[in-house]
A = this chain, B = another copy of it.
Amino acid sequence: MSQFKTPVAVPLAPALPRKKQGVSPCAACEVRHLAVCSALETDDLEELDSILTHKGLSAGDTLFDEGEPATHVYNLTTGCLKLYKLLPDGRRQVTGFLFAGDFVGLANSEDYIYSAEAVSDVNLCSFEKHKIDKLMNSHLSLEKRLLGMARFELAEAQEQILLLGRKTAKERIASFILMLSERAQRRGEPDNPVEFPMNRNDIGDYLGLTTETVSRTITRLRKSGAISLDSDRSIVINERDNLVDIAEGF
């Protein structure tokens, strides 16, 4: 699956020579304000840095598979990752797309409950779970931050349940475009046009649709004027209010 466009993705915050410096690489991290790591004071970041390793994945690479022992948690610093579950006959449900600043592994207990694969080239901070657990005991703000993130993800999961249980294909696609737009904005990136790192098949597996239905539905939204396509992977929102109405089922 791996495409190896670039042999290995370049870490955002490369592992510096571990001299005893006063400054942790984490202090310079561009996505810290988005990530778990924002829970820690600058003073504590050296400690955080001492327990993490950087990891790069090329598009298509697998980070871990459902059912493996969940030894690590990760923080995504660049790129896009997809999480998915499989049924025995190969039906696939993408349970989430993760972007810079997102945390991987919140829901996992003993074993990973989903597989994780790089959609684009990706950089991660990797933490051994037992080390994070230990850090949590001494830094309560970290635990609070994780609880906050879990609550947020729970709310998002329930939106997705509403989407999958009761929305039409058109409503699902509109919701998806808006979600990607809003998440890009939260990361401080432009919210329009919306950039799609994933292909139509992944979108379908996320929205409970087939590739063909995704394609046809995007075409219909395009012909209605609500959106335009810069390219397959870049959608311009022409009528945001209209798209919001469609997404919410008005």
Contact = CB atoms under 8 A, between A and B. Distances in A.
A85 interface: yes
Interface in A146-179: 146-147, 150-155, 157-158, 160-162, 164-167
Nearest to A168: B91
Interface in A121-164: 140, 143-144, 146-147, 150-155, 157-158, 160-162, 164
Contacts of A160: 157, 161
A66 to B, nearest CB: 10
Interface string A190-217: 0000000000000001111000000000
A77 interface: no
Interface string A80-107: 0000010111011101000000000011
B248 A87 contact: yes
A contact residues, range: 35 or more
A14 interface: no
A132 to B, nearest CB: 12
A26 to B, nearest CB: 23
Nearest to A164: B164
A113 interface: yes
A109 interface: yes
Interface of A: 85, 87-89, 91-93, 95, 106-109, 113-114, 140, 143-144, 146-147, 150-155, 157-158, 160-162, 164-167, 205-208, 248-250
